[in-house]
C-alpha cells in the first residue's frame, strides 16, 4: 500500500512546535486528552448504533497498554473511528477560529518564560485549555505517534504517523480493527522536566483516577478497570470532591480555568431530570459569535445524546456549561425535535431560573466571584432583557452598572437605596465609554444636585433601556432624553423664557440640523447640549440600525441652551441688537457644533467647523 507524506497546516505546525518544546509543565494531561477523545468516539458510536444496528458494538471500552521495552503507550478504543479524510481534516488541521491569535500569545509567553516562569505558564495553560489542543498534546511526551483507525462500517482503515516535525504520513491499511488506537512512542523520561515514565502502571493509574474517573466507559489496563465511571451529576454533592468537579468541567468545556460556581439540580415528578451546571470564570472568545458552539450536553438515562444543545438554555445564558440528564426523553431525539419539545422548553425555563438564583446567591456569599462573573458575562446576560419580560426582574437583580457614585459597579437595589429625598427615577446615560459619558454636559445638573447616574457603556445597553421600563417599580430615565425635571427652583424663569423667545425662534429657523431649540436647567457649566426626544431614536441606536443596513432618515435632536452661560446670553444680546448680522448664524453653528463635540458626536462638516473656529479665534488673540 502506498504511503503519502503530507504537511500539517501552518497553524497546526506552529502548535506542534510549541508542544514539542513543551510550553507548560503538566505533561500528564496528554493521557487525559487521549482518553477524552476515545470517550467522545465511543459516545458517537453508541449514537450511531441507535440509528443503524450494524454499527452497534458489544463492549464499548478504552484500553491502555504499556510496553516498557519498546517504550510505547497505546490508547485504544472501539469507538466511531475516522475515515482517511477525517484523519487529514481533523488531525492535520486546526479548524477553530481565533487559533492564530492564541498561538501568537502562546509564543509570546514562551519568549517570556525564562524571566517570569510560573505566571506565564499558568496563562499558557489557560490559553491551551481555551482552544482544546487535545490530540496534539501527545507531542509533549512523544517523539513519534502512530494512529491506526477504522471508521465503524467502513471496509478499510488508515495508518497515520508523525514525529511532530511538520509532516505526517498516511496510508490505507486493510486489517485495522474498528475504532482508533493511538500509539505514543515515548521520549526518555526526565523527571526534572516533569516528563515521567508513562509506561509505569502506578503513574497511569494515578492519571486516569485524577482526570478520567467519571468517563462513562471502562478504561482498562489488562484485567483491571481503572475508573469508577460514576456519573458525577447523579452523585450527592457531599460525596464528590471539588477536584472531581473541576476535572469534569474541563472534560466537557475544554476550559482550563476552574469554574466560578457549580450548580446542581434535580427535578422529580412527572418529568425527571438531573443537571450539573458550571459558571465558567472567563468568557470564551466566541461568546458573541452567532455560529459559535454553545450549550449543554444532553444525556438520556446516562447515555450521551447531544453536544452543544443550545435548546436547553436561553441564549443569554449560553455560556453556562454542563450536563442535563433527562429520564423520559427518547434516545433517538434529534435537534429538530428538541427545539419543539415542550419538556425541553420547561427544562430551559427551570434551568434559567435556577442559574439566575444561583448567581444572586453568589452575590451574597462571594462578592469577588460575582464581580468576575459580571465582568465576563454581564453584557451577554443583559441580552435577556430583550427577551421574556417575566425574567427581567431576576436579571436586573443580578446586574450591576458603573455609576457616578464610585469606581465600583453598583446594583440597582443599592442605587435605589441611595436615592435622596425627591429623586424618584433611576437616571442613566448610555455611551461608548465611561469617560465620555461622565464628562458629558448632560451630567452637570445631576452632579450639581447630587443625583447618581448609571453609566451604561455596553452596546446592548442602548437596546435594553428601550425595552425595560422600571426596576421593581422605580422607572428608568435617560438623562439625554426628553425634558429633565430636576427641581422647580432652577426652572428658567418666566422672565428669562420671555426674553429668549425671539432668539430661540431665530435659532430654530437657522439651525436645520436640530428639531428644536429650547432653554434648559440641566446644564451648569456648558453652554449647550443635545437631547433626544422622549420617543425619538438616540444617536447610538441610529448608528446601530444603520450599521445593520437599515435605511433611516437622520433623526433630528433638540438643542438645549443654558441661559446662565455667558456665551448664550451674549448670543441673545447680539441678536436683540443686530438680528440681521450674518456673523450671528455662524455663531449659532459653532454653538451647535460644540454641543455635538461635547458628547463625542461627529460633525457633519468638520473642515467648515474648523475654519469658522479659526476665524473667530484669530479675532480674539
Using CB under 6 A, which of 20, 90, 292, 540 touches ligand ADP? 90
Instruction: Verify binding: residue 593, ligand ADP, rule CB under 6 A.
Output: no
Instruction: Verify binding: residue 134, ligand ADP, rule CB under 6 A.
Output: yes
Near ligand ADP in 159-188, by CB under 6 A: 180
Q: Which is nearer to ligand ADP, 91 or 232 (CB)?
A: 91
Q: Which is nearer to ligand ADP, 254 or 522 (CB)?
A: 254
Instruction: Verify binding: residue 217, ligand ADP, rule CB under 6 A.
Output: no
Which segments of 520-568 are extended strands (E)? 528-531, 557-561
Least separation in angstroms between CB 311 and ligand ADP: 22
Least separation in angstroms between CB 136 and ligand ADP: 6
Q: Which is nearer to ligand ADP, 39 or 594 (CB)?
A: 39
Q: Which is nearer to ligand ADP, 79 or 378 (CB)?
A: 79
Range 286-290, long-range pairs (CB < 8 A, 24+ positions): 286/97, 286/98, 287/318, 287/319, 287/377, 287/380, 288/380, 289/97
Binding mask 236-255 for ligand ADP (x = CB under 6 A): ------------------x-
Cell numbers linked to 483: 425634558
Q: Which stretch, 19-27, 132-140, 414-422, 592-600, contacts ligand ADP (CB under 6 A)?
A: 132-140
Closest to 109 measured CA to CA, from 30, 21, 194 = 21
Using CB under 6 A, which of 82, 260, 519, 537 touches ligand ADP? 82
Least separation in angstroms between CB 40 and ligand ADP: 6
Q: Strand 3-7 and strand 167-173: pairing?
A: antiparallel
Least separation in angstroms between CB 149 and ligand ADP: 6
Angstrom distances, CA of residue 94 to CA of 88, 131, 211, 368, 465: 11, 10, 24, 36, 41
Q: Which is nearer to ligand ADP, 226 or 356 (CB)?
A: 226
3-class state of residue 611 by DSSP = helix
Range 385-393, long-range pairs (CB < 8 A, 24+ positions): 385/460, 385/464, 385/467, 385/468, 386/460, 386/463, 386/464, 386/467, 387/314, 387/315, 387/316, 391/314, 391/352, 391/356, 392/468, 393/471, 393/472
Least separation in angstroms between CB 537 and ligand ADP: 44
**Dihedrals phi, psi of 542, to nearest 5 degrees:** -60, -45
Return the residue nearest ligand ADP (CB atom). 134
Least separation in angstroms between CB 243 and ligand ADP: 22
Q: Which is nearer to ligand ADP, 19 or 347 (CB)?
A: 19
* Residues touching ligand ADP, count (CB under 6 A): 16
According to DSSP, the residues that pair with 72 across neighbouring strands are 67, 185
Least separation in angstroms between CB 37 and ligand ADP: 3
Instruction: Verify binding: residue 276, ligand ADP, rule CB under 6 A.
Output: no
Least separation in angstroms between CB 294 and ligand ADP: 15
Using CB under 6 A, which of 35, 80, 103, 359 touches ligand ADP? 80
Give the CA radius of gyration of the chain: 32
Query: For residues 162 and 52, is the Cβ–Cβ distance under 8 A?
Result: no
Near ligand ADP in 338-397, by CB under 6 A: none
Binding mask 500-519 for ligand ADP (x = CB under 6 A): --------------------
**Dihedrals phi, psi of 477, to nearest 5 degrees:** -140, 120
* Angle, vertex CA 114, rays to CA 109 and CA 120, nearest 5: 35
Binding mask 36-65 for ligand ADP (x = CB under 6 A): -xx--x------------------------
Q: In angstroms, rounded to a whole number, what is the distance separating the alpha carbons of residues 357 and 344?
A: 20
Q: Which is nearer to ligand ADP, 149 or 440 (CB)?
A: 149
Q: Which is nearer to ligand ADP, 41 or 338 (CB)?
A: 41
Instruction: Verify binding: residue 135, ligand ADP, rule CB under 6 A.
Output: yes
Q: Which is nearer to ligand ADP, 62 or 504 (CB)?
A: 62
3-class state of residue 175 by DSSP = coil
Angstrom distances, CA of residue 303 to CA of 268, 295, 360, 613: 19, 17, 32, 73
Report residue 536 CA to chain centroid gap: 31
Cell numbers linked to 565: 452661560
Closest to 36 measured CA to CA, from 148, 157, 138, 177 = 138
Q: Which is nearer to ligand ADP, 41 or 568 (CB)?
A: 41
Instruction: Verify binding: residue 157, ligand ADP, rule CB under 6 A.
Output: no
| Widest Cα–Cα separation across the chain | 105
Instruction: Verify binding: residue 132, ligand ADP, rule CB under 6 A.
Output: yes
Residues 6 or more apart whose CB falls under 8 angstroms from that of 501 comprise: none
Q: Which is nearer to ligand ADP, 130 or 400 (CB)?
A: 130
Q: Which stretch, 72-80, 100-108, 429-437, 538-546, contacts ligand ADP (CB under 6 A)?
A: 72-80
Residue ranges that bind ligand ADP, judged by CB under 6 A: 33, 37-38, 41, 77, 79-82, 90-91, 132, 134-135, 180, 254
Amino acid at each position: 500500500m502506498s504511503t503519502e507524506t503530507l504537511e500539517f497546516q501552518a497553524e497546526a505546525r506552529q502548535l506542534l512546535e510549541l508542544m514539542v518544546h513543551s510550553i507548560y509543565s503538566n505533561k500528564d494531561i496528554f493521557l487525559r486528552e487521549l482518553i477524552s477523545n476515545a470517550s467522545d468516539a465511543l459516545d458517537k458510536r453508541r449514537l450511531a448504533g441507535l440509528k443503524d444496528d450494524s454499527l452497534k458494538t458489544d463492549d464499548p471500552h478504552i484500553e491502555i497498554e504499556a510496553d516498557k521495552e519498546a517504550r510505547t503507550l497505546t490508547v485504544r478504543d472501539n469507538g466511531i473511528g475516522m475515515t482517511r479524510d477525517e484523519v487529514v481534516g481533523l488531525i492535520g488541521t486546526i479548524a477553530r477560529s481565533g487559533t492564530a491569535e492564541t498561538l501568537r500569545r502562546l509564543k509570546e509567553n514562551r519568549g517570556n518564560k525564562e524571566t517570569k516562569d510560573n505566571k506565564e505558564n499558568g496563562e499558557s495553560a489557560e490559553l491551551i485549555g481555551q482552544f482544546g489542543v487535545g490530540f496534539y498534546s501527545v507531542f509533549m511526551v512523544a517523539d513519534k505517534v502512530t494512529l491506526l483507525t477504522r471508521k465503524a462500517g467502513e471496509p478499510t482503515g488508515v495508518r497515520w504517523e508523525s514525529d511532530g516535525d511538520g509532516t505526517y504520513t498516511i496510508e490505507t491499511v486493510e486489517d485495522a480493527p474498528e475504532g482508533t488506537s493511538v500509539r505514543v512512542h515515548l521520549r526518555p523520561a526526565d523527571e526534572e522536566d516533569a516528563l515521567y515514565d508513562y509506561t509505569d502502571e502506578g503513574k497511569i493509574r494515578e492519571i486516569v483516577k485524577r482526570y478520567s474517573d467519571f468517563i462513562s466507559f471502562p478504561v482498562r489496563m489488562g484485567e483491571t478497570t481503572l475508573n469508577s465511571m460514576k456519573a458525577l451529576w447523579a452523585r450527592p454533592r457531599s460525596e464528590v470532591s471539588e477536584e472531581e468537579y473541576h476535572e469534569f468541567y474541563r472534560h466537557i468545556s475544554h476550559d482550563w480555568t476552574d469554574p466560578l460556581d457549580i450548580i446542581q439540580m434535580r427535578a422529580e415528578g412527572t418529568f425527571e431530570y438531573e443537571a450539573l451546571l458550571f459558571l465558567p470564570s472567563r468568557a470564551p472568545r466566541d461568546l458573541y459569535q452567532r455560529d459559535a458552539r454553545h450549550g449543554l450536553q444532553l444525556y438520556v438515562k446516562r447515555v450521551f445524546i447531544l453536544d452543544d444543545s443550545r435548546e436547553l438554555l436561553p441564549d443569554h445564558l449560553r455560556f453556562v456549561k454542563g450536563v442535563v440528564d433527562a429520564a423520559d426523553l427518547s434516545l433517538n431525539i434529534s435537534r429538530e425535535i428538541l427545539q419543539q419539545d415542550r419538556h425541553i422548553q420547561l427544562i430551559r425555563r427551570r434551568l434559567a431560573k435556577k442559574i439566575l438564583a444561583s448567581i444572586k446567591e453568589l452575590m451574597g456569599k462571594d462578592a469577588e466571584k460575582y464581580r468576575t462573573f459580571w465582568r465576563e458575562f454581564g453584557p451577554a446576560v443583559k441580552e435577556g432583557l430583550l427577551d421574556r419580560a417575566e425574567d427581567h426582574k431576576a436579571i436586573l437583580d443580578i446586574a450591576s452598572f458603573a455609576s457616578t457614585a464610585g469606581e465600583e459597579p453598583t446594583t440597582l437595589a443599592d442605587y435605589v437605596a441611595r436615592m435622596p429625598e425627591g429623586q424618584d427615577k433611576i437616571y442613566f446615560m448610555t455611551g461608548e465609554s465611561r469617560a465620555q459619558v461622565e464628562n458629558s454636559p448632560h451630567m452637570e445638573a445631576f452632579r450639581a444636585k447630587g443625583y447618581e447616574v448609571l453609566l451604561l457603556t455596553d452596546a446592548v445597553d442602548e437596546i435594553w433601556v428601550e425595552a425595560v421600563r422600571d426596576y421593581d417599580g422605580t422607572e428608568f430615565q435617560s438623562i439625554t432624553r426628553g425634558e429633565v425635571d430636576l427641581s422647580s427652583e432652577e426652572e428658567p424663569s418666566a422672565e428669562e423664557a420671555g426674553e429668549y423667545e425671539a432668539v430661540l425662534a431665530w435659532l430654530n429657523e437657522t439651525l436645520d440640523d436640530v428639531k428644536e431649540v429650547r432653554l434648559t436647567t440641566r446644564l451648569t457649566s456648558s453652554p449647550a447640549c443635545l437631547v433626544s426626544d422622549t420617543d425619538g431614536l438616540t444617536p447610538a441606536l441610529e448608528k446601530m440600525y444603520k450599521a445593520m443596513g437599515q435605511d433611516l432618515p437622520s433623526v433630528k435632536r433638540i438643542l438645549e441652551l443654558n441661559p446662565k452661560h455667558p456665551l448664550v446670553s451674549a448670543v441673545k444680546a447680539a441678536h436683540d441688537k443686530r438680528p440681521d448680522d450674518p456673523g450671528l448664524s455662524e455663531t449659532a453653528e459653532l454653538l451647535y457644533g460644540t454641543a455635538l463635540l461635547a458628547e463625542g458626536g461627529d460633525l457633519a462638516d468638520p473642515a467648515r467647523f474648523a475654519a469658522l473656529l479659526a476665524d473667530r479665534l484669530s479675532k480674539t488673540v
